[in-house]
Structure 1
Amino acid sequence: MSFIVQQHDRLNVYVEDLTHDGSGVAKVEGYPLFIPGALPGEQVEVQVGKTLKNYGFAKLLEVIEPSPQRVEPPCPVFWDCGGCQMQHLSYEGQMIQKQKQVRDVIDRIAKLPNVPVHPVKGMDNPWRYRNKSQIPFGEQNGRIVSGFYKSRTHHIVDTDVCIIQSEEADLLMATLKREMLILGVDAYNERTHKGLLRHLIVRKGKATGEIMVVLVTSKRKFPEREAVVEMIKRVVPEVTSIMHNVNSEKTNVIFGNETSCLYGKSFIIDSIGDIDFEISARSFYQVNPEQTEVLYKQALDYAQLSGGEMVIDAYCGIGTISLFLAKQAKEVYGVEIVPQAIEDAKRNAELNGLDNAHFEAGAAEDVIPKWYEQGKRFDVLVVDPPRKGCDEKLLQTILTYKPKRVVYVSCNPGTLARDLRILEDGGYKTQEIQPVDMFPQSSHVESVAWLEI
């Protein structure tokens, strides 16, 4: 069909839909064109770029008839930066599109048209919500730059402000960039593998106000570090932890294996609801704590705990969901393949005085059968997998032991739909799905699904 549309063609098209990454979708005699920046309901002029057999890409030239939901993005680098995809769509419009995104894959992939997908639970103020910023530093045309990567590239879009991260992160990003030359610190160059500062990471406890700053450098030797530490303390007096991570590898992975404390303590404390968490430089912790509480309360509602249940938390991470569950269950058993996360989970259980939360490192599909062999019997299983969804072996493990209730927390509607279909074919019935907006201004949406055997 691609002969219908040729590269460099200028076309006037109607936008029907949005992709999962926020691009508009128009069809020319059935041939889909993906158009970044276009919104559903708009008539637009585009120029065709790359064409493949079953779809193509086009550049938005002009919005002829705009959507009533189109707004002016408040971020000055929105059109260049890859961090957000939907600032040009009103927040009400974002909620509608995210619900539709979940609804579409539940119908098309899970084949469950009668399962309710509720309206998305959004934020009252969908800005400044991120409690963690990972800011690359680099050198362009002889000057130091910092900001965020352009979409699908490692080109840094230079900026001093990001309106979805904390004000403290903005302040540190701008000040450090300005003062690096004075302090004698050069920025890392990915191409030449020269220069010192690779990344600035800022973590903020939204409930406690505690702030951690992590400096990722290419070398262990950092002669200017005392001056940098003093600068950070001057700019953000609330800082309670300054860490130094060394990454000398030729890689785009942010962290290296060596981390040391330059000032204060090696962790910060934050709270979600009435649960406290100890967060180190490399701990996984949800970046939007306000909506994390909404997400976890939804998972708790679907778990329907009365105090006597045995619960499994698969993919438990540092125990965030486990500890919420432990407040209302008889016993919670968490499993996670990353040993360091399990150590964090045990420490967090101790921090909150919860002795009914137990954690084990390993693959869930290996550990859960062992628990059953030990005579344990579970009423509820909660799963919160990465974007790729549940491991196929874990799904088969669930179908083998058949806990009465499954609560599936998902960050990817497509893999959620795929896994729901497998569980449905194995005898479970999906009762309902509640989407939650964890990442306003982006195209991502989280969901919680409730299943019964």
Structure 2
Amino acid sequence: MATENTPVKKNDLIEMTFEDLTHDGAGVGKVNGYPVFVQRALPGETGNVKITKVKKNYAFGRLMEITKESPDRVDAPCPIFKQCGGCQLQHLSYQGQLRHKQKQVREVLARIGGLEDVTVHETIGMDEPWRYRNKAQVPFGEMEGGLIAGFYAERSHQIIDMNECAIQHEENDTVVQLVKKIAKKYGIRGYDDKSHKGTLRHVVTRYGYRTQELMVVLVTKGKELPNKENLIEEIRSELPNVKSIVHNINSKRTNVIFGDQTEVLWGEEVIHDYIGDIKFAISARSFYQVNPVQTQVLYEKALEYADLSGKEHVIDAYCGIGTISLFLAQKAKHVYGVEIVPEAISDAKKNARLNGVENVDFAVGEAEKVMPWWYAQGVRPDVIVVDPPRKGCDEELLETIVKMQPERVVYVSCNPATLARDLKYLGDRGFETKEVQPVDMFPHTGHVENVAILELKN
């Protein structure tokens, strides 16, 4: 791509002032209006930057020296923060992170959705924004002949060996270090994705915050798990809270963690945890929110926005394992949940039985296909709740919502850009966005969740 007319060239050393942060936490400075993205630079700071890559419309640089520091800059407590790709914002004070996420949501809603006047509340943060993750998925590998386990360096497949992670629950760290120690003892080799050799690919741990139950999942390249009995015995003797030890086989050349074959080596198929008063059974591959404290905050806000009196029929599109559906069922007359993943619907039905919830029906399929079928059966939803993946709602689903004309739509989002796009679509077709509440589900990262409430005009 031609870069002759750009105001900077590769290897230039320039002083610049940073104005903003990108959604993934890079500082943004401009040279004659031309943006330069620099990791770990903060708004309001000035620094010397070496240009590392030049494109037609933007460039990347490396922060060599800070000449004017932001009052929001803090020392990252994690020793591998600069190498690891897991967190982007540990160098920004927590209050600074919450302000940045609110500002980001407000600006994206205005730029993409044309929603300049919609109230975006202050981001709801955590009292204790560390050690919040109840699930770890840690790749194993080899370095100089030794077993290593850690997260990938930013934009690479190089594993950064680590002993602990500041955003994982301590129990997850304990499990990973224990498996590493036992695997070393028995000569179990880590997996090499270049040569497609070795045994142990990942260790996945799941921890129930309220129940303190632990699940350990060993993901291997082949069916063989050397010294399996010793491995199980030592995990059990060292981890009194372990309830489930699972083996998953992934023999493909892929960066997807799980393979298709899963078996329980010892204990139960599931562990349990609670969000509010609702109990959930969590299997090795269940989707379950990784921050249970903030999940409760998020779902209570969704329930508040749904404004249920006990008479309403509610549709929960993208219902997953029934987490939001079961929350809504506490206050609704009837809830209908739909999800494309059959295993998730199986889990949702089990979770409804586990909690004795009878005013809920779950269906497998695409929401935009199942919802019109329900409508044809006479279901008239007063409220529709959507919690789509990062790509947002399919247009067909949004069309279906417009046809069904519910009084309220509650939109739970993990991506402000697709939220803004979808709110604009619904806004152009008779729904008014009243307010948006950002919730910090993933402190020290660039991610932010939102709940929006829309009401049918007239």
Please report the TM-score for the alignment, with normalisation by the length of structure 1.
Answer: 0.99
Deviation at 1:360, TM superposition (A): 0.2
Query: What pairs with 1:123-162 in structure 2 (closer than 5 Å)?
Result: 123-162=126-165
Distance, in Å, in 2 between the alignment partners of 1:389 and 1:195 is 38
Q: What's 1:22 paired with?
A: 25
Distance, in Å, in 1 between the alignment partners of 2:164 and 2:374 is 49
Verify the 8 A CA contact 2:147 2:180 in the aligned structure 1: yes
Deviation at 1:301, TM superposition (A): 0.5
Of 409, 412, 417, the residue aligned with 2:415 is 412
Query: What pairs with 1:19-98 in structure 2 (closer than 5 Å)?
Result: 19-98=22-101
Provide, for residues 163-219 of structure 1, a one-character-per-residue CA deviation record: whole Å limited to 9, x for no partner: 111212212222322332321211111111111100001100001111100000111
Q: What's 2:428 paired with?
A: 425
Deviation at 1:54, TM superposition (A): 0.9
Provide, for residues 104-160 of structure 1, a one-character-per-residue CA deviation record: whole Å limited to 9, x for no partner: 011111111111000000000000100000000001221111110111111101101
Provide, for residues 59-84 of structure 1, a one-character-per-residue CA deviation record: whole Å limited to 9, x for no partner: 11111111000000000000000110
SS of the residue corresponding to residue 300 of structure 2 reads helix
Distance, in Å, in 1 between the alignment partners of 2:172 and 2:307 is 39
Verify the 8 A CA contact 2:99 2:122 in the aligned structure 1: yes
Provide, for residues 287-344 of structure 1, a one-character-per-residue CA deviation record: whole Å limited to 9, x for no partner: 0000000000000000000000000000000000000000000000000000110000
Query: What pairs with 1:258-273 in structure 2 (closer than 5 Å)?
Result: 258-273=261-276
Deviation at 1:222, TM superposition (A): 1.5
Of 366, 386, 391, the residue aligned with 1:388 is 391
Query: What pairs with 1:11-410 in structure 2 (closer than 5 Å)?
Result: 11-410=14-413
Which one-letter code corresponds to 2:301 in the other structure? Q
Distance, in Å, in 2 between the alignment partners of 1:402 and 1:181 is 60
Distance, in Å, in 2 between the alignment partners of 1:52 and 1:223 is 49
Distance, in Å, in 2 between the alignment partners of 1:400 and 1:289 is 35
Verify the 8 A CA contact 1:172 1:235 in the aligned structure 2: no
Of 444, 449, 452, the residue aligned with 2:447 is 444
Deviation at 1:268, TM superposition (A): 0.3
SS of the residue corresponding to residue 127 of structure 1 reads coil
Provide, for residues 28-71 of structure 1, a one-character-per-residue CA deviation record: whole Å limited to 9, x for no partner: 00000000010111001100111111111111111111100000
Distance, in Å, in 2 between the alignment partners of 1:239 and 1:65 is 50
Provide, for residues 87-115 of structure 1, a one-character-per-residue CA deviation record: whole Å limited to 9, x for no partner: 00010000000001100011111111111
Deviation at 1:235, TM superposition (A): 2.5
Distance, in Å, in 1 between the alignment partners of 2:301 and 2:437 is 8
Distance, in Å, in 1 between the alignment partners of 2:117 and 2:138 is 44
Distance, in Å, in 2 between the alignment partners of 1:234 and 1:66 is 50
Verify the 8 A CA contact 1:168 1:236 in the aligned structure 2: no
Distance, in Å, in 1 between the alignment partners of 2:314 and 2:245 is 37
SS of the residue corresponding to residue 3 of structure 1 reads coil
Which one-letter code corresponds to 1:75 in the other structure? C
The percent identity for this pair of structures is 58
Distance, in Å, in 2 between the alignment partners of 1:81 and 1:233 is 30
Verify the 8 A CA contact 2:43 2:70 in the aligned structure 1: yes
Deviation at 1:265, TM superposition (A): 0.4
Verify the 8 A CA contact 2:413 2:419 in the aligned structure 1: yes
Which one-letter code corresponds to 1:82 in the other structure? G
Verify the 8 A CA contact 2:175 2:216 in the aligned structure 1: no
Provide, for residues 218-255 of structure 1, a one-character-per-residue CA deviation record: whole Å limited to 9, x for no partner: 11122311111122123321111110101111111100
Deviation at 1:365, TM superposition (A): 0.4
Deviation at 1:272, TM superposition (A): 0.2
Verify the 8 A CA contact 2:317 2:339 in the aligned structure 1: yes
Deviation at 1:392, TM superposition (A): 1.1
Verify the 8 A CA contact 1:388 1:415 in the aligned structure 2: yes
Which one-letter code corresponds to 1:400 in the other structure? K
SS of the residue corresponding to residue 292 of structure 1 reads helix
Provide, for residues 401-420 of structure 1, a one-character-per-residue CA deviation record: whole Å limited to 9, x for no partner: 21110000000001100100
Distance, in Å, in 1 between the alignment partners of 2:227 and 2:118 is 59
Provide, for residues 329-362 of structure 1, a one-character-per-residue CA deviation record: whole Å limited to 9, x for no partner: 0000000000110000011001100011110000
Segments of structure 2 that go 5 or more residues without pairing to the other structure are none
Segments of structure 1 that go 5 or more residues without pairing to the other structure are none
